[in-house]
């Protein structure tokens, strides 16, 4: 923001909610956006030479589907580009409890981890395992946050005096091992526009159709078994295993690492953007974020999202501005 504010051409409009893209299909261009001033409810049209979608996975996909940019994915036929390859990351793990050890959880930062990468990606032999990919194992603390650090043995009451006593007892005597594994695309997992439900400004909500593929379940169980071996070797009083649910649900939330929906690739029939994150069907629309990932890796997506943003920005600066048009032939 400080760098942008120094540019006289930059203007920040707060409490503005983009409602839709203005798409000219014949010209294969986005002419601008319509946004709503949430204070007054008034709509404004903002023309634009270049539009960058920099929202989250769901909003990027929602905008393209609403505008009709690219063919919506159809799971029945496997055809279409927008909404396909929605992926999630698999998380599970083991909690270990120690009567005689205290771990000083308040001495660390909120994101402190010790990681084991031996079982991520292709770092290990998959022969006979029945799955592809992998993930990392981390031993982590949450900086002793009063809610986020609440790790309790199985059977602890959910509330009341016994809950308080257990929380006080195990507060500094617990260690959490977590696994975060890759999520590969499945034909049955996708995003589309909800036919019934709308948001506060009348737009159809994005709808997620998802369940973990068998591959992800097997991979997660393998990683959790490795966690358990490590935890048991430490000699805990007890352990609690947190397996991946067989039927996916969002409560409690396991991860914010959603990917896909506007994926990048070389085939305009099955992907939404090219390698420069430029929409195949609108050459002045660039899509940033993990929505362009064709698959979901075993690592956090943040670093790759940043790298792709720099990559696309460089292409816009050095190629597109000099000669606006498709940067890759479809």
For every residue of 240-262, DSSP letters joined together read: EEEPPPSS---SS---S--B-SS
User: 90, 300, 85: which is closest to 215 by C-alpha?
Assistant: 90
Residue ranges of the domains in the chain?
Answer: 2-85+258-320, 90-186+212-242
Tell me the three state secondary structure of residue 100.
Answer: coil
Q: Residue 116: enclosing H or E segment and its boundaries?
A: strand 113-116
Mean pLDDT, rounded, for 15-34: 96
Q: Is the pLDDT of residue 76 over 80?
A: yes
CB hemisphere CA count around 71 (13 angstroms)? 13
Within the chain, residue ranges assigned H as helices are: 2-5, 57-67, 161-170, 214-233, 302-315
Confidence of residue 244 (pLDDT cuts 50, 70, 90): confident
Average pLDDT, the chain: 93
Pairing relation of β-strands 204-209 and 190-198? antiparallel
Indicate which residues carry an active-site annotation. Answer: 257
The fraction of the chain above a pLDDT of 90, given in percent, is 82
Tokens of 210: 């998802």
Q: 203, 127 in Cβ contact below 8 A?
A: no
Which pLDDT does position 307 carry in this prediction? 98
Q: 70, 82 in Cβ contact below 8 A?
A: yes
Confidence of residue 250 (pLDDT cuts 50, 70, 90): confident
Q: 244, 222 in Cβ contact below 8 A?
A: no
Distance CA 289, CA 61 (A): 11
**CATH class name, domain 2-85+258-320:** alpha beta
Mean pLDDT, rounded, for 313-327: 97
Confidence of residue 110 (pLDDT cuts 50, 70, 90): low
């Amino acid at each position: 923001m400080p760098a942008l504010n120094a540019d006289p051409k930059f203007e920040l409009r707060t409490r503005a909610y983009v409602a839709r893209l203005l798409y000219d299909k014949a010209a294969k261009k986005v002419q601008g956006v319509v946004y709503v001033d949430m204070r007054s409810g008034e709509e404004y049209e903002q023309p634009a030479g270049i539009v960058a979608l920099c929202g989250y996975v769901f909003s990027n996909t929602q905008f393209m589907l609403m505008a009709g940019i690219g063919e919506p994915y159809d799971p029945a036929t496997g055809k279409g580009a927008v909404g396909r390859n929605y992926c999630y990351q698999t998380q599970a793990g083991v909690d270990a409890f120690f009567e005689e050890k205290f771990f000083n959880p308040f001495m660390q930062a909120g994101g402190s981890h010790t990681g084991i990468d031996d079982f991520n990606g292709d770092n290990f032999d998959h022969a006979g395992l029945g799955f592809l990919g992998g993930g990392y194992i981390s031993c982590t603390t949450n900086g002793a946050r009063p809610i986020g650090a609440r790790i309790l043995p199985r059977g602890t009451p959910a509330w009341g005096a016994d809950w308080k006593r257990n929380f006080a007892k195990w507060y500094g005597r617990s260690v959490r091992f977590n696994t975060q594994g890759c999520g590969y695309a499945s034909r049955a997992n996708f995003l589309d526009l909800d036919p019934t439900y709308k948001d506060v400004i009348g737009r159809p909500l994005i709808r997620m159709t998802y369940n973990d593929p068998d591959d992800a379940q097997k991979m997660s169980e393998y990683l959790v078994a490795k966690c358990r071996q490590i935890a048991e070797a430490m000699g805990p009083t007890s352990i609690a295993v947190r397996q991946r649910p067989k039927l996916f649900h969002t409560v409690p939330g396991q991860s914010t690492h959603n990917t896909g929906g506007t994926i990048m690739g070389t085939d305009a029939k099955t992907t939404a953007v090219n390698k420069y994150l430029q929409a195949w069907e609108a050459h002045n629309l660039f899509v940033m974020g993990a929505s362009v990932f064709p698959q979901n890796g075993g690592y956090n997506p943040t670093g790759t999202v940043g790298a792709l943003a720099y990559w696309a920005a460089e292409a816009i600066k050095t190629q597109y501005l000099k000669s606006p048009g498709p940067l890759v032939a479809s």
